[in-house]
Amino acid sequence: MATGQPILPRVDRVTYDDAVKDLRAHYETTGSRDLEEADWRLAHLKPFFTGARIMAIGQVEATKYAAKR
């Protein structure tokens, strides 16, 4: 704060749910996507990634998701 830099949330604490919430807010604010379509596209990810930290989602998790789906 003293240097004038923005205070950002700790990246290691950001969850998939936080990212989806922010993405939906962006789409709603900008009108760049249809929210119904975005929800449909994100729906299949929700059961697998809910609660996961974004930093923990990598190639291994993506492969596990693809195999499960």
What are 13-69's pLDDT values in tens digits? Answer: 899 999 999 999 999 999 999 999 999 999 999 999 999 999 999 999 999 999 998
Domain range spanning residue 18?
11-68
Is 45 part of a structural domain of the chain? Answer: yes
Is 4 part of a structural domain of the chain? Answer: no
Is 64 part of a structural domain of the chain? Answer: yes
The model's pTM is 0.76
Angle subtended by helix axes 16-30 and 35-43, to nearest 10? 160
Is 5 part of a structural domain of the chain? Answer: no
- 55 contacts 14 by C-beta, under 8 angstroms: yes
Instruction: Work out the pLDDT band at 10, boundaries 50, 70, 90.
Output: confident
Number of domains in the chain: 1
Is 52 part of a structural domain of the chain? Answer: yes
Q: How many helices (H) and strands (E) does the chain have?
A: 4, 0
Is 26 part of a structural domain of the chain? Answer: yes
Is 29 part of a structural domain of the chain? Answer: yes
- pLDDT over 80 (residue 12): no
